Structure 1
Amino acid sequence: MPKVLISDKLSPAAIQIFKDRGIEVDVNTSLSPDELKAVIGQYDGLAIRSNTKVTAEILAAATNLKVVGRAGIGVDNVDVPAATARGIVVMNTPFGNSITTAEHAIAMMFSLAREIPQANASTHAGKWEKSKFMGVELTGKVLGIVGCGNIGAIVADRAQGLRMRVIAYDPFLSTERAKELNVEKVELDELFPRADFITLHTPLTEATRNIIDAKAIAKMKKGVRIINCARGGLIVEEDLKAAIEAGQVAGAALDVFKVEPAKENLLFSNDKVVCTPHLGASTSEAQENVALQVAEQMADYLLTGAVTNALNIPSVSAEDAPKLRPYMTLANQLGSFAGQLTETGIRDVKIEYIGHVATLNTKPLTAIVLEGLLKPMNETVNMVNAPVVAKDRNIKVSTVKTDSVGDYHTLIRVTVTTDQRERSVAGTLFGGDKPRLVEIKGISIEAELGPYMLYVTNQDKPGFIGALGSLLGQNGVNIATFHLGRAAPGGDAILLTQVDQPMDASLLEKVRALPQVVQAKALAF
């Protein structure tokens, strides 16, 4: 009989799920790290929320552990690479808090518009300052949503019920999905000057970090109100404070902060700022939902081997795993390559399996391609939920199998159609297990992907390679590999080079400024 330890508070109904499925369960929510380390070797499963820290040291002592289940989205408290190295599945419940977080954003917007927290404090203090708290209506106002994924879409729906006009910026929002949500899809530079309220619902990535800074605020409508129930690092707090004091921003409502727990913050003393202690997921319904989900997922895995919402392993049978392992790496690289180059809403994804790979179980490979493709826009996506995320965004996914052999014994080609263009990338295996890119946008190229890559599309003109090499050298960037391809002499060309360190933004701008460059992107794998 499998045995599970619950080390953070979960609903009694979740505990009963384990028992009803025949799984022995212990509940101990007061274990210190040393105490957890001492007992974890007895258990097959560990169910947690955010309080338990599942470190590499804890995992090293978990000699029988098979699965860690996180009731919630974030797994910052779990050393996922260490768990993967030990063959331990890490699961979460990425969609259980969506409605609750969206509702909290709406509540924060109301509080901000009508100064409810300030008026409440004043009235409790025995004052009657009716004329002091002059709010604004939400009806007829323009709500700008930055990030229109699962939570953002729910916020849009609720805001429309309040008769707000909703515009949305999301580089991965397709035109069809925007129509379905009845929102106007706009670019960020258009959203800023039009929106009366701006609410953030995007993951924290290198592309979104500090998305609201002094430069962005300067583009906004004077008197804008900003709500953030997503991630603290999306806003430069110093810039927001200065903008509120200057009157450019009328107020802000923040549930998340750059440093948490936020017991001190430069915004706390400002009466134009509404603050809550990361309450986005804090409702009894949400806590119940994620607890029940994680219990079901863990029980399924321990009893049947079924995998749902796993962050670190593919859904593959033991028989297929050895055959598919090198293809999984290739599929992830192809998807990630296409995803990092995609800057607008995705409409269609076509995945072709040609030659030997067409004879294998390609379903997990498709999921892995989608995971790599969608990861830049959704930090919680994994190979299990990637098809669901694609469906929710109205991304049409098609696969084609052709077992006849062409130029390569085995080949995977991924073609992505966006609102603006179509782009394809193809790869094969050298020596049976070494992934290689062999085609980008129909141009032949042979390249091995490394941790840091520079991708350039350029005009095939003399002197370009020397100019690029000199620029990188002058900035202390060492080139590891260098791969070239072109459609025709003097025509479109591509360059893919591996470098020894990440490319910073300023150097990337210098690359883009070279005369022959059409596009330049820094990629990471």
Structure 2
Amino acid sequence: MAPKVLVSDSLSETAVQIFRDRGIEVDFLPALGKDKDKLAEVIGKYDGLAIRSATKVTAALLEHATNLKVVGRAGIGTDNVDKEAASKKGVIVMNTPFGNMITTAEHAIAMMFAVARQLPEASASTHAGKWEKSKFMGVELTAKTLGVIGAGNIGGIVCNRALGLKMKVVAYDPFLSEERASEMGVEKVELDELLKRADFITLHVPLTDSTRNILSKENLEKTKKGVRIINCARGGLVDEMALAELLKSGHVAGAAFDVFAVEPATENPLFNLPNVVCTPHLGASTTEAQENVALQVAEQMSNYLLDGAVENALNMPSMTAEEAKVMGPWVKLAESLGSFIGQVTEEAIETINITYDGVASEMNLKALEAAVIAGIMQAVNPDVNMVSAPLIAKERGIQISKTTQDASGTFDGFIKLDIQTVEKYRTIAGTVFSDGKPRFIQIKGITIDSEIGEHMLYTTNKDVPGVLGKLGTLLAEHGENIANFTLGRASEGGDAIAMTFLDTPIKAETVAALKDTGLFQRVIPLHFKA
């Protein structure tokens, strides 16, 4: 029987025709996504669901989706899909992360022009019959310094376009190597340096715990007088109230925002301020972008439903069904190893060497490598998946190599990562035990046997009496319950590490208290996928 797909949001007829041409039965009901009750009534008939942003794929809806195998989102954002619930139901969630890159980058450039020359206000004034030529004195972009926060896919295009405008471009991106920056023609700098030098600042990073309010009040005050801020990435990256005050004081000369902390944005501190350009989240709103993502999602879903190929999946490795049965725990291990590195590393990563030992060397190394890289990248960009991660690493200029070897040591196999950053060398290794559970077996060259939990704490210290007692006491005083605990040391009196598995995420005040003891070199909260 042919697979059956429901298109519950507005997709182009060309995209719908792709399903039909591939022999897939398709129902094109673009208004259905807004009627959650009716959608729940019919969803059980379908193998695939193609959506944009109107359809909400909730846990409640998925309970009715008895035959659903894949959800395809035409676009990058999947906030309207409960990915955890989908994973539990065995439903793959795909998106199309690269279809609107050019469109979004062009919108950022357009917004930069608009705020440089006060175009919206000048247009409104002229439409009103005024001729206020002297009122709208703008600035040139040529020879100005553009600070790009996030030089990935979209940010990289913005850099390219800005160089074409004869701007000087400085970029802040923890994953951008010096070599890749040189190839792009931009100068890699730290955030404080960018804030100090940039005439225009544009943001192109996802919203994560590390990027939320990256332009905080404190950082905005570090900018040079007369700076102009452009945000076409995500709401919440900028402290909008602080920016409004700096606009009123004249420290910031202008701002252009396509995204806001609360959307739909019917009111905002930036509204109605002079030389502030606002648009209603139009970054991906071009005919070409909407068509591209629609065609891509139709092709991806068809490939999966007919051939089992997995592309741009957010909750499943790229591998065959046969491989998944054996490789599942090893993929989770690989991703956890990468996630550890991503969470403890602040500097740009230059090289990654992955050693596959024993049984690990006989598996789908491409999938394991993708899982490692995805784990690393997800520390700063949770939208990265196993398909997009290798491409992003390549664009960042990260060199990736692998080594395979026969079984050595006491394990049937293991995976080891050796990471070189601009300043440091890091290493971690792990294996999968016979119970199917991944474990860390070595960190910093120190042997350890650590279960991998959702909420963990990594600490390093010198091997002296009293450290572990203080750790346990402070955790208890702050109400942190330990589920498991593992430690190791290089030698007596030398470097020591501990991995503490906690029942809940550790509180910020607990971390601060541990740091204040002066006993620990590093105190890093970790989060791993459950």
TM-score category of the 2 structures, normalised to the smaller one:
over 0.9
| Counterpart position of 1:23 | 24
- 1:118-167 per-residue CA deviation (whole Å, 9 max, x = no partner) reads 11111111111111111111111111111111111100000011111100
Work out whether 1:196 is the aligned partner of 2:199.
Answer: yes
- 1:390-445 per-residue CA deviation (whole Å, 9 max, x = no partner) reads 22222122221112331322211111111111111001123341211110011111
| Counterpart position of 1:128 | 131
* CA distance in 2: counterparts of 1:57 and 1:432, whole angstroms: 33
Q: Is the 8 A contact 1:177 1:394 kept in 2?
A: yes
- The aligned amino acid for 1:471 is L
What is the SS of the residue equivalent to 1:364?
A: helix
- 1:448-483 per-residue CA deviation (whole Å, 9 max, x = no partner) reads 121211112222233322333333333332333222
Work out whether 1:40 is the aligned partner of 2:43.
Answer: yes
Written as runs of structure 1 = structure 2, the 5 A alignment for 1:421-460 is 421-460=424-463
* CA distance in 2: counterparts of 1:429 and 1:305, whole angstroms: 26
| Counterpart position of 1:365 | 368
Structure 1: unaligned runs, 5 residues or longer:
none
Residue number among 227, 243, 248 corresponding to 2:251 in the alignment:
248
Work out whether 1:208 is the aligned partner of 2:211.
Answer: yes
Which 10-residue stretch deviates more, 353-362 or 165-174? Answer: 353-362
Shift of 1:506: 4.2
Q: Call closer, same or farther: CA 1:156–1:90 in 2, change over 3 Å.
A: same
Work out whether 1:508 is the aligned partner of 2:521.
Answer: no
| Counterpart position of 1:8 | 9
| Counterpart position of 2:470 | 467
Written as runs of structure 1 = structure 2, the 5 A alignment for 1:65-84 is 65-84=68-87
- 1:500-524 per-residue CA deviation (whole Å, 9 max, x = no partner) reads 3323444423323332322221111
* CA distance in 1: counterparts of 2:10 and 2:117, whole angstroms: 35
- The aligned amino acid for 1:15 is V
Q: Tell me how many residue pairs correspond in the alignment.
A: 525
- 1:363-416 per-residue CA deviation (whole Å, 9 max, x = no partner) reads 322211111111123232111222222222221222211123313222111111
Shift of 1:169: 0.6
Residue number among 360, 377, 381 corresponding to 1:378 in the alignment:
381
* CA distance in 2: counterparts of 1:156 and 1:508, whole angstroms: 38
Structure 2: unaligned runs, 5 residues or longer:
none
* CA distance in 1: counterparts of 2:175 and 2:411, whole angstroms: 32
- The aligned amino acid for 1:118 is E
What is the SS of the residue equivalent to 1:377?
A: coil
* CA distance in 2: counterparts of 1:149 and 1:318, whole angstroms: 32
* CA distance in 1: counterparts of 2:510 and 2:273, whole angstroms: 38
Q: Is the 8 A contact 2:407 2:413 kept in 1?
A: no
Shift of 1:76: 0.7
Work out whether 1:334 is the aligned partner of 2:334.
Answer: no
Q: Is the 8 A contact 1:355 1:406 kept in 2?
A: no
What is the SS of the residue equivalent to 1:495?
A: strand
- 1:181-206 per-residue CA deviation (whole Å, 9 max, x = no partner) reads 11111111111111111111011100
Q: Is the 8 A contact 2:115 2:254 kept in 1?
A: yes
| Counterpart position of 2:316 | 313
Which 10-residue stretch deviates more, 357-366 or 368-377? Answer: 357-366
What is the SS of the residue equivalent to 2:193?
A: helix
Which 10-residue stretch deviates more, 382-391 or 502-511? Answer: 502-511
What is the SS of the residue equivalent to 1:509?
A: helix
Written as runs of structure 1 = structure 2, the 5 A alignment for 1:90-489 is 90-489=93-492
* CA distance in 2: counterparts of 1:104 and 1:523, whole angstroms: 36
Q: Is the 8 A contact 2:309 2:319 kept in 1?
A: no
What is the SS of the residue equivalent to 2:496?
A: strand
Q: Is the 8 A contact 1:230 1:256 kept in 2?
A: yes
Shift of 1:488: 1.8
Q: Is the 8 A contact 2:51 2:71 kept in 1?
A: yes
* CA distance in 2: counterparts of 1:256 and 1:358, whole angstroms: 45
- The aligned amino acid for 1:389 is I
Shift of 1:270: 1.1
Which 10-residue stretch deviates more, 421-430 or 489-498? Answer: 489-498
Q: Is the 8 A contact 2:229 2:255 kept in 1?
A: yes
- The aligned amino acid for 2:230 is I
Which 10-residue stretch deviates more, 493-502 or 261-270? Answer: 493-502
- The aligned amino acid for 2:193 is E
- The aligned amino acid for 2:260 is F
What is the SS of the residue equivalent to 2:378?
A: helix
* CA distance in 2: counterparts of 1:469 and 1:219, whole angstroms: 39
* CA distance in 1: counterparts of 2:507 and 2:135, whole angstroms: 48
What is the SS of the residue equivalent to 2:125?
A: helix
Q: Is the 8 A contact 1:172 1:377 kept in 2?
A: no
Work out whether 1:56 is the aligned partner of 2:59.
Answer: yes
What is the SS of the residue equivalent to 1:483?
A: strand
* CA distance in 2: counterparts of 1:197 and 1:361, whole angstroms: 45
Q: Is the 8 A contact 2:150 2:205 kept in 1?
A: yes
Shift of 1:82: 1.6
What is the SS of the residue equivalent to 1:450?
A: coil
Q: Is the 8 A contact 2:308 2:321 kept in 1?
A: no
Q: Is the 8 A contact 1:102 1:154 kept in 2?
A: yes
| Counterpart position of 1:89 | 92
Q: TM-score, normalised by structure 1?
A: 0.97
Cα RMSD over matched residues?
A: 1.5
Which 10-residue stretch deviates more, 349-358 or 294-303? Answer: 349-358
- 1:222-268 per-residue CA deviation (whole Å, 9 max, x = no partner) reads 11110000110111111111111122211111000011111121221
**Fraction of identical pairs, as percent:** 59
Which 10-residue stretch deviates more, 505-514 or 65-74? Answer: 505-514
